Chains A and B, each alone.
Chain A
Amino acid sequence: MAQPSTDGGAAANAAGPEKRYAVEFSASAGEYFRIWIVNLALTIATLGIYSAWAKVRKRRYFYGHTRIDGESFEYRANPIAILKGRLIAVAAIVVFYGVGYFAPLYQLLLWIPLLIGGPWLLVRSLAFNAYNTAYRNVRFRFEGTYGACLKIVLVYGWLVFTGILYPYLKHRLIRFVAENHRYGTTRFEVADFKKPFIGAYANAFGLGFVLAAVVFGAGVVMGQGKAPYLFFGTIVLFYGGLFLLFAYIRARTANAIWSAVRIGPLRFESSLRARDLVWLYFSNLLAIAFTLGLATPWAAVRAMRYRASKTAAIASGPLDGFAEGQAQQVSVTGEEVAELFDIDIAL
C-alpha cells in the first residue's frame, strides 16, 4: 500500500519530493479531565440542557489539539442546533425502546422505519459532522446521497444475516462513506482496500474458530468432572480471545482504510497494532472500572494519542492549495438520533 499511486492527480504530481507530517495530539489528560467533569456537573445542574454545550466544548478541545503541519482542526457545530437534535433523538429512543420492552412484536414493526430511516440518519449525521469540521479554514463535506446509501443497504444488507459475508457489507459502507467526503472541493479518492479489509476479518474468523474449538475442548474435559481450575482458565481465554480478535480487526481494518485514502496531494499512513490496542483497551477498561468512571477522560486522551502517534499524512505537494466550496445548510437531527441509536461508520 505504500507504493505511490498511479492515478496521477494533477496536484499530486506537480511537486517534487514527498513530505511526511506526523499527526500530533497535544491534549493533556489533566486539562481534559477538568473540562469533562465541570461540563458533566453543569449538565446535571441544568437537567441535561447544557449537554449540547458540553458536547461541543469537549469536541472542540479534542479537535483543537489535533494538528497536522502545526495547524489544528476546528469543530464548528452550534450547541443550540445540537440541543434541538437531542430533544428529537430522546423522544425517538423512548418510543423505540419503550415499545420494545413491553410489546416486542410491535418493535418488529418499528424496524421497518429504522431500516429505511437508518441510511438517512447515517447520511445526515456524516454530513453534519463533516460540514462542522474544518482545517486551515476549509470545511469538510459529505456529499453521499440517501438514495445511494439505501441502495447499498437494500442490495447488501441481507449479508448481515450470513455472518461470514458481513465484512463485505461493512466494506461497501465504509467505501461509500470515504469516497463521498470532500475537503473543501477536493474529493477523497479511495483505492481498492477490499483485500486487506476482508483479509483481516478472514484471519479473525479463523482465529475465532480455533478459539471456539479450544474452549469447546476445555468444556468437554470439564464435563468429565476433572480439572475445575480449567473453568477460570477457559473464561479468561474466551474473553481474552474476543478482546484480541476485536483489537485485531480494529487495527487491521483502520490501517487498510487509511492507507487507501488520498486527498489531492495527501495520502496517509496508519500503523495501528493489535497488541497495542489490546493493552490500550484493557488498561483503559480497568482504569475506568477502578476509578468509578473518573479515568474516562484520561482513557479518551490516551486512546487518541495512540491513534495519532500511529498515523501520518504524506504530502507530495503543498497543503495550501485546497479550495473551499459553497456554504450549505446542514441539519443536526440525523447526527443526534444516529448517535443515540449507535449508528456509526467510523473511518
Chain B
Amino acid sequence: MIEFEAAYYDGRTSARKPVRVRGYTLAIQIAGEGLRLDVPLAKVRVDPPVGGTRRALHLPDGAQLQTDDHAAVEALFPRAHLLEGWVHRLERHWLYALAAIALVAAFTWWSVVDGLPLAAKIAAGFVPVTWEAKLGEQTLDFFEGRLCRPSALDAARQQALQRRFAKLTAGLADGYAYRLLPRNCRGVGANAFALPGGAVVMTDALVKLARNDDQISAVLAHEIGHVRHRHGLRMSLQAAGLAALAAALLGDATSITSLATTLPTALLQRGYSRELETEADDYAFQRLREVGLSPKAFAEIMLLLEKDHKKRSGGESRDYFSTHPATAKRIERALTAP
C-alpha cells in the first residue's frame, strides 16, 4: 500500500481540501475532513511528469488531486506515459543534456553547410522564372538611386559593352530576360553582380580596371552563370530557411514575420558561397570558349581585381574581390580550364 498527502479539489469550486490518499492495487482511497472517496485506478488519469512540478491526478467528474509526492505517483502508475516518462528521465541528467547540445549543434552545422543549400536548390526548382524576376526587381529597386546612378561612360563605350553582353547571352533560350546595367556606384568599387531574372549590374570602376574587353566578357560570363544557375534565388531561399531555422530553434516559433525583411537584402549583404562561385566559374569557362574567347581572360581580371583590392584595402569599399574572393585555386582553374 502507498500512502501520501494531497490536496483535493472537487471540480466545482476552487476550494482546496487537504486529504490523505491510500493507494491499493486496483483503487485509491481518499480521506479528508467530511470526505471519503474510493476511486478505481482505471478511472484516474495522471499527467506526465515535468521537472519538479506538482503532479495532478484527474478523477472522474472533473475532481482532482495534487501532490508533491512524486515517488508515490510513480509507484501507483508505473506504466503511465511511457514516452514522456522516458523524456522526463532524459531531462533530469546533465549528461543527456550535453548529448542533446551535441545533437543540436551537429544538426545546426549540417543544416547551414549542406542541408539548407540542398533544400534551397530543390525548392528553387519549383519557383517559376517570372516569380524569380520579381525578386530581382525588388533587389534592384533597393539600391537603384540609393547606391548607384546611371553609368558615366560615354555612349559609344556603353554600346560596345552591350554588344559584348548580347554576344554572350545570344541563343541561351533559358527564359531569362538578360540585360546589362552599367552603373556608377558610390563606395562599391570595381564590382559586378547578377540579380535573379537576368539583370547584370556592372560598375564603371570595373570597366576602367580591365585592360581589355575580353576580361570584361569573362566577368560578365561568370555573372550570367549566377543567373542561369539561379544563385540569387537559391541564396534568398537559403537565408529564409536559416531565419526559419533560427526562429524554430531559439524562439517558440515566433518572429518568423521578421523573415519578410531579410529576403530582399540577403542578396546584398553577402556574396555567394564557394560552391556557387565554382559553379558560375565553370559556366563562364565553357561559355567563353563557345563564343571564341579564352578562359585565361578570367584569370587575368581576377589578378587585377586582387591587386586593386589590396591597394585599396583599409577603405570600406565593397568591391568585386570582397564578394568574390579570388583564391589562387580559382585562378588556376581558369588557366587550366579545358
Contacts and interface: CB of A to CB of B under 8 A. Distances in A.
Interface of A: 27, 31-35, 37-42, 44-45, 48, 51, 53, 55, 57-58, 60-61, 64-65, 71-72, 74, 93, 97, 100-104, 135-138, 184, 288, 293-294, 296, 319-324, 327, 339-342, 344
B4 to A, nearest CB: 17
A294 B132 CA distance: 36
A97 B259 contact: yes
Interface string B255-270: 1110110010000000
Nearest to A30: B94
B282 to A, nearest CB: 28
16 contacts: A38-B87, A39-B87, A57-B84, A60-B50, A64-B51, A64-B54, A65-B51, A101-B131, A101-B263, A136-B15, A137-B63, A184-B14, A322-B14, A323-B12, A339-B253, A342-B254
B134 A104 contact: yes
B51 A35 contact: yes
Interface string B129-167: 001101100100000000000000000000000000000
Interface residues of B, number: 58
Nearest to A72: B54
Contact of B11 (A41, A44, A137): A137
Nearest to B55: A64
Contacts of A33: 97
Given A64-B50, A324-B12, A34 B257 contact: no
A61 B256 contact: no
A327 B56 CA distance: 19
Interface in B73-101: 83-84, 87, 90-94, 96-97, 99-101
Nearest to B12: A324
B249 interface: yes
Contacts of B54: 64, 72
Contacts of B103: 41, 44-45
A74 B53 CA distance: 10
Contact of A339 (B13, B14, B101, B254): B254
B24 interface: no
A45 B84 CA distance: 15
A293 B108 CA distance: 12
Given A34-B96, A296-B250, A42 B87 contact: yes
B16 interface: yes
Contacts of B256: 93, 97, 340, 342
Contact of B53 (A51, A65, A100, A137): A65
Nearest to A184: B14
B252 A58 contact: yes
Given A35-B91, A37-B101, A38-B100, A137 B252 contact: no
Q: Which of A65, A288, A344 has the most CB of B within 10 A?
A: A65
A324 B84 CA distance: 29
Interface string B7-20: 10101111110000
Contact of B97 (A38, A44, A341): A38
Contact of A135 (B14, B50, B132): B14
Nearest to A342: B257
Contact of A57 (B87, B93, B100, B249): B87
Contacts of B16: 71, 136, 320
A34 B75 CA distance: 24
B13 A321 contact: yes
B292 interface: no
A103 B134 contact: yes
B127 interface: yes
B155 to A, nearest CB: 35
Contacts of A327: 62
Interface string B43-81: 000011011111010000011101000000000000000
B135 A37 contact: no
Given A39-B91, A61-B53, A97-B259, 17 more contacts: A27-B51, A32-B51, A34-B91, A37-B100, A41-B100, A41-B104, A51-B248, A61-B50, A61-B51, A71-B16, A97-B260, A101-B240, A102-B127, A102-B128, A136-B16, A137-B62, A184-B13
